[in-house]
Amino acid sequence: MSVRHTIPIIIVRTAIIVPLFIIGCLAIVFTQLIGLFLFKNNPSLKQAMINETKTHFVILLSGLTSIINPCKFAITIDTESVPNSQQFHVDSYKHIHTLLQPNSVIISNHQIYTDWLFLWFLTYTSNLSNAVYIILKDLSKIPVLGYGMKNYNFLFLSRKWEHDKVVLTNQLLEIDANARGHGPANGYRLLSSTDKEVKKWPQGADDSKIWPYELILFPEGTVPSDRTTKKSAEYIASKGLPPLKHVLLPRIRGLYLALQKLRNTVEVVYDVTTAYSGLKEDEYGELVFSLKKFYIQGYGPPVVNYFIKGYKLKDIPLGKEELDSTVEASDEDLQKFEDWLLKIWYEKDQLMDNFYKTGQWGLNPNSDGEINVDTKLIVGDFKLKNSLEFLKPFIVSLTILLLSYTLLSLVYSFVIGSK
């Protein structure tokens, strides 16, 4: 057992980390409240402030996580499909630098409950952490955090598709409108809207002030467990498909809808295959690296392993364009998209199998049985670019406290001096 896993260290670490996280979250929400009040009549500044607090949150959580569970990132890039792949590198201080495209969608298999944090950190290495949107189950009722995520315009799912498709469509079209410079962040107003219909934004684009996005979603919808793996296997068998060993069958409707509504602006879809060193193929990540074990006991993966491929939107079968309605796609269009996504997921399952058996991703042969894929591997530390960055989430709160203290001191001095 490492020293950092001993009871005394756990107690001291928890006593420091937990209050610091709570204070940090309160400071971020306080920054949001101040910004929303000050910039209520200036949509661009309001959007910029909200975006900055996204970076504040990933800095806060990544900084604390790197103290609790220091680890490395091993990123393998398919250089043939990932744009700017030669710009991905690690500097002499082991800081990771990537160059993800703005206006992109990131999909990944779901292994543990902190997957989203590591992917958000990946965007941080491209200076795009302020542009992140995440599709996830509804967490809006969590005190403080829920309010902050609603301000981030994260896309919450209720698991009821008839409701979700309208809510998701409206949020996605707003993200798309902002990315074209014709959305609410630039002061544009809706052309039409009702509670039960899709909101319509002005068409066209204004390159003078655009708001990029990095949309993160997990098509599987949940992490592998006894229940979810069994349910997935049963459904796979009912469709007559080959079994999947390491991933769950992906759901197609959420991703299909996202790509449909963002198709005016999407640059690339990044397919990330995620595997964690220290996790065996017959183990569930949610048990080995549960939130309790991860953040309280300090047991986390020593290496986060990514295999990244890129897909251009024109190579993804999306069928007929339906940008401003909730009309269901045809069965034929959905089937073509499902076939495309399943092909990716079976390749992902094979990559995972290779990784568990050899510690390497291996390469899948093409239809002729030949391997013809160029890759690049970079290995760096999961850490902030600068330790002073950790102060960013607290700057506004500390500044107001300092100004308040100075003002009160002046008032007190004036009152005492006048007596």
pLDDT in tens, 281-322: 999 999 999 999 999 999 999 999 999 999 999 999 998 765
Contact of 308 with 106, CB cutoff 8 Å: no
Question: According to the model, what pLDDT value does residue 138 have?
Answer: 83
Where is pLDDT greater, at 364 or 14? 14
**Of 29-33, 60-64, 193-197, 210-214, minimum mean pLDDT range:** 193-197
Over range 373-379, report the average pLDDT: 92
For the chain, what is the mean pLDDT?
Answer: 91
H/E stretch holding 169: helix 161-179
Angle 301-62-138 from CA coordinates, rounded to 5°: 90
Closest CA to 388 of 63, 52, 65: 63
> Which pLDDT band, with edges at 50, 70 and 90, does 192 fall under?
low
Burial of 264 (0-12, 13-18, 19+ CB in 10 A): middle
Alpha helices in 192-298 (DSSP H): 226-238, 253-261, 285-288, 291-292
